Structure 1
Amino acid sequence: MSQAGPRPGRWRLVVVGGGSAAAIQVRRGDVPPQEVLVVAERLGTGMAFLGHSTLQSYAGELLLSGRPEELRAVMRPGDLRPSANEYDTYVQESLMRSGASVTLARVMDIQQDAQGFVLSLRTPGGVRRQVYADGVVLATGSTPRRPPEDLRAAGAITYDTVHRELAAGSTRRWEGMSVVIAGAGNSAMQTAGLMAPDARDVTILANRYIGMYPAESNDRFAWRAPSQLAYELVVKSARECGRQPWNVPCVRHLVHETLTADGGAIRWRYRETDNLGVLGSHSTAGRCRHARAHRVGGDDADGLWEETRRADSTVVVWAAGCTPVYPPGELTGSLAREPDGTLRRDAHGRTDVPGLHVTGACAGQRSVNETVPARTRGPVTGPASGEEPGLPVERVTA
């Protein structure tokens, strides 16, 4: 492989990751792409499991560079938002046309040397090699957060499993079952809408009420368009459930206090006072034939209710957000972390190890349109927005 680092055998910058954050770092960062090596196990967004599902963000919010025509080229004419598959293609092509070199490999370790860093790689074919760099940017994205141990023992799955099985044409896991989805955001709401047609009933257990954007919330990370389906089903199912003919899938939304699994049962508790809003008032005890609950502590228990489902007839889906992923190794393991699991960094994405930077989910940036490249050459402004270096022939190695 031809390398174009500042001196033979060493790269000016290695970007670890093959998703949107990596593409933004390469195309909008302060190091010319010709001096950058991208190392990733796979090129493309980490949300590829969504398949043909339409993303909630508009095309203009998802741009990786100052060239919107590149995203439009992979979208169907007239669409405002790309599908996950279309966006995955866009991310791949954005990296391939950037001018950076790309190596498909897993980073097994990152160590410091006298001049910068040594990265130990393993290719898909099992070949091990090392690359050398002045600086490193971790742009490795995130993965769905795993459920607690008691729920895993009861068979709980993460929400991406639902999308993958639907993409394979299978609904057997939850067909005719009670479904309990733990999560407050768009992932929980949208997963509920996908599972509802085949499930016996669906209960969304949230730790807080998010609300629809922009009617109920000004937070652009609140529920957006695809979540509207689950929102409407909650209201309609409370009115339809138990009536003949019963044509609307039963979906409930509760702000809950606890969710546990023990003795072959799934249990959750909630308070009436936390569920007085639009969705909660349609989901508490007595609202539909699936809301079988009993008071905890008697009539004076401040509206505390408990519901129970048999574990062998219930599927628990964990949709409680994502957690950043990092390459293994002593150096990355020693980096200071914030309470949310992201690495401690300054406003320029610099960690406490000189030359080691983070961007994207690793830096607490929640979406593409708030992802900014790390400044790897000090507090010097890189290319202006919309400007990019020339685009030489791409180089890819395995």
Structure 2
Amino acid sequence: MSQSGPRPGRWRLVVVGGGSAAAIQVRRGDVPPQEVLVVAERLGTGMAFLGRSTLQSYAGELLLSGRSEELRAMMRAGDLRPSASEYDAYVQESLMRSGASVTLARVMDIQKNAQGFVLSLRTPGGVRRQVYADGVVLATGSTPRRPPEDLRAAGALTYDVVHRELAAGSSRRWEGMSVVIAGAGNSAMQTASLMAPDARDVTILANRYVGMYPAESDDRFAWRAPSQLAYELVVKSSRECGRQPWNVPCVRHLVHESLEADGDRIRWRYRETSNLGVLGSHSTAGRCRHAQARRVGGEDADGLWEETRPRDSVVVVWATGCTPVYPPGELMGSLEREPDGTVRRDAHGRTDVPGLHVTGACAGQRSVNETAPALTRAPAAPAQGREPELAVERATV
């Protein structure tokens, strides 16, 4: 097929991704949806693995357009927040009804030439095809951050695995085990409360004390409603752990300095001076029967404590946030990255490749109500001679 001039399969804009950022780009962006092709392996939010769990944000903070009734139609009457599954359905419906065309496929490569972009796709059935675009927006979301190599070798899980196994009704591999969760945010707190009923004990190892929003922090990404349960368990644990009858799962929260797998042991260290706040004061050595710690480094170690557990008695869960995901290929690999893994871009989501933009997690936007469509600067008129893309049948989503 010739690369010059208008041709079948050419789009004014291709949005790569099928989540909330893609829906916001399509519905709020400056390119009419009828001139947009959405390419995604799956339609729906990356939070779908949370299942029936209630999301942190209120419904009004999660809107993909100005029409609140679209989300409300997916929610149970009287609820202030949607569940993850309700929101997933909302994102799917928002894209299906947007007017954009949708193709379920994996992007295998993106190339740039003088006429625009060439995207190589592979469908779920293994069919390979190419589409052409004047502009591309990456709205590919993020994936849970992986644990360090030594902890992966020790069998560490990412927090989404816990949610997926619970949703599938799998046996609790952490039953009767000590659970160690690395993370400071809502993911760590919620995972702790999910695992606590079956675990021997749970220790959350954070890099800082975050606090409850808005009582202790004005950061709206701090702990919110579902995290309150873990917060309460930490305080109750120090008061009730070891009492008869013992009715409360033991959960601790420590600001730690290190966590590592060392031979047949899992080891973590923390300073007493870093844990004098609301939760740390309930979790240091001597506060509950599970805090079996020893002081290390001598008197000049500023209250440095170490705890170890046999490797075969511990399940480590990594809940330290997410990293953006991008399609493979040489062009993607050449893009400059920021320290947080996002692509270097300007305030409008423009990368150093003209016509290639990012939005959502790829642009460092941390929530739906912080997500803004990329300024695509697309041509004023659509390319002619485009072959219409058939909308995805609802049953295939």
TM tier, smaller: over 0.9
| CA deviation vs aligned residue, 1:295-318 (integer Å, no higher than 9, x gap) | 112244210000001110100000
Partner of 2:93: 93
Measured after TM superposition, the shift of residue 245 of structure 1 is: 0.6
Is 1:97–1:394's contact at 8 Å kept on the other side of the alignment? Answer: no
Between Structure 1 and Structure 2, how many residues are aligned?
A: 382
One-letter amino acid matched to 1:189: M
Q: Distance in 1 between matches of 2:45 and 2:146?
A: 20
Give the match's secondary structure for 2:301.
coil
**Displacement after TM superposition at 1:7 (Å):** 6.0
The residue type paired with residue 114 of structure 1 is A
- CA deviation vs aligned residue, 1:148-188 (integer Å, no higher than 9, x gap): 00000000000000000110123421000000000000000
For 1:80 and 1:309, the matched residues in 2 are separated by: 41
Taking structure 2 as the reference length, what is the TM-score of the superposition? Answer: 0.94
Over aligned residues, Cα RMSD in angstroms? 1.6
In structure 1, distance between residues paired with 2:212 and 2:6 = 50
- Give the TM-score normalised by the residue count of structure 1: 0.94
Structure-2 separation of matches of 1:61 and 1:260: 38
Residues 2-45 of structure 1, C-alpha deviations (whole Å, 9 max, x = no match): xxx98643100000000000000000000000000000000000
Instruction: Letter of the 1:372 partner, please give it.
Output: A
1:123 corresponds to which residue? 123
Percent pairwise identity: 90
Q: Secondary structure at the match of 1:339?
A: coil
**What secondary structure is seen at the aligned counterpart in 1 of 2:365?**
coil
5+ long unaligned stretches in structure 2? 381-388
Report the equivalent of 1:195.
Answer: 195
Distance in 2 between the 1:230 and 1:170 partners? 23
Tell me the equivalent position of 1:144: 144
> In the alignment, what sits opposite 1:328?
328
Structure 2: which amino acid aligns with 1:257?
Answer: E
User: For 2:321 and 2:220, how far apart are their aligned partners in 1?
Assistant: 16
Instruction: Give the structure 2 partner of residue 384 of structure 1.
Output: none
2:392 aligns with 396
Matched residue type, 2:248: V
Contact 2:108–2:327, Cα closer than 8 Å, also in 1: yes
Counterparts in 2 of 1:156-171, with a 5 A limit? 156-171=156-171
Change (3 A) 1:222 1:6: farther
**Structure 1 residues 1-150: aligned runs within 5 Å:** 8-150=8-150
Does the Cα contact within 8 Å between 2:105 and 2:124 map onto a contact in 1? yes
Q: Is the 8 A contact 1:52 1:85 kept in 2?
A: yes
Unaligned residue ranges in structure 1 (runs of 5+): 381-392
CA distance in 1: counterparts of 2:124 and 2:25, whole angstroms: 24
Contact 2:143 2:323 in 1 (8 A): yes
Cα drift, residue 379 of structure 1: 12
Does the CA-based 8 Å contact 1:348-1:379 persist in structure 2?
no
Deviations 1:314-366 (A, max 9, x none): 00000000000000000011001101000000111000000000000000000
> For residue 235 of structure 2, what is the aligned residue in structure 1?
235
Q: Does 1:344 align with 2:340?
A: no
Partner of 2:179: 179
- Partner secondary structure for residue 249 of structure 2: coil
